[in-house]
Amino acid sequence: MSTRSEDYAGLTVAMITPFRGGRVDYEALQQQVEFQVEAGTTCVCPVGTTGESPTLTHPENEKVIAAVVEASAGRIKVMGGTGSNSTEEAVRLTSRAAEAGADAALVVGPYYNKPTQEGFYEHYKAVAKAVNIPICVYNIPGRTGKNIEPATIIRMAKIPNITMVKEATGSMDQASQILAETDLTVLSGDDSLTLPLMAMGARGVVSVVGNIIPRDMIAMIAAFESGNMAEARRWHHKLFPLCRDMLGLATNPIPIKAAMKLLGRDSGELRMPMTPLGADDVAKLRKTLTNYGLL
């Protein structure tokens, strides 16, 4: 199993988990994988924040990742979301994902219990030790309640299969320090910050809007990588209103599921306590999608 971090440069799509009648819709899940394969997406990430991991049961978590691995059939990389605020549970979920054939694991910082920096380090060390697939440290303090400090991530980078960071702190200084002092592949955790972070050395994004416009995200990344900054900026400005709505109208994944419903690509069903986008915000989203040329 390759642990080369550069293998994950480009577009990783944080997949939604489609529901129908309260259950995971595995047929729709397979269709999503096909959509991303056809687009040329580097990697798909099931059961992350966008995949409503907090309200999936552990058996569902394992089954969704296994189903995505099966549907991918080696045509696209799969980075399963396997984080937990319990180290024992994170180890088990990550081990199960590896056994199912996932190429890598996205492991969110332990949430709610707010460990010390030593606790963060020991948590990730235990997860990494349990498997031989690459680990992506998912740092999103706005969700977890506590930041994994740059010094801790720099220390983690010495663990062989911790190879990536999904940087969702919104702090350019934090990203700069990690990029300057490690060889980790840094992936943007915010669609709208992809280009700014790539300008500092990041290699791509774990994207929400990629669920609907993967080719456009790929085009922006490719333009930057080829040195065509004018084209990269053009894509950034075109994408920005859509990226803004995905986070600004309501908590992720409420807006992306609403968008996919409007586009006829999902039922739009969410699991409580997530509730559908309000009528006024649906109208705003519809306008953004129309202006973008999707409706």
By CB atoms closer than 10 A (0-12, 13-18, 19+), residue 23 is: exposed
CA-CA distance, 80 to 14, in Å (whole number)? 10
CA-CA distance, 160 to 137, in Å (whole number)? 13
Query: DSSP readout, 122-167?
Result: HHHHHHHHH-SS-EEEEE-HHHHSS---HHHHHHHTTSTTEEEEEE
Is 26 assigned a catalytic role?
A: no
* Joined tokens for residue 86: 């319990």
* Joined tokens for residue 258: 């609403």
* Joined tokens for residue 6: 């550069």
Give which of 226, 217, 181, 224 is closest to 199, Cα–Cα: 224
| Cα-based distances in Å from 203 to 6, 68, 167, 188 | 8, 24, 11, 8
Is 125 assigned a catalytic role?
A: no
CA angle 233, 234, 235 (to 5 degrees): 90
Catalytic, out of 138, 146, 257, 292? 138
- CA-CA-CA-CA torsion sign (129, 130, 134, 138): negative
Consecutive H or E run containing 221: helix 214-225
Give which of 195, 197, 191, 189 is closest to 230, Cα–Cα: 195
CA-CA distance, 53 to 82, in Å (whole number)? 9
Catalytic, out of 8, 121, 124, 166? 166
Active site residues: 138, 166
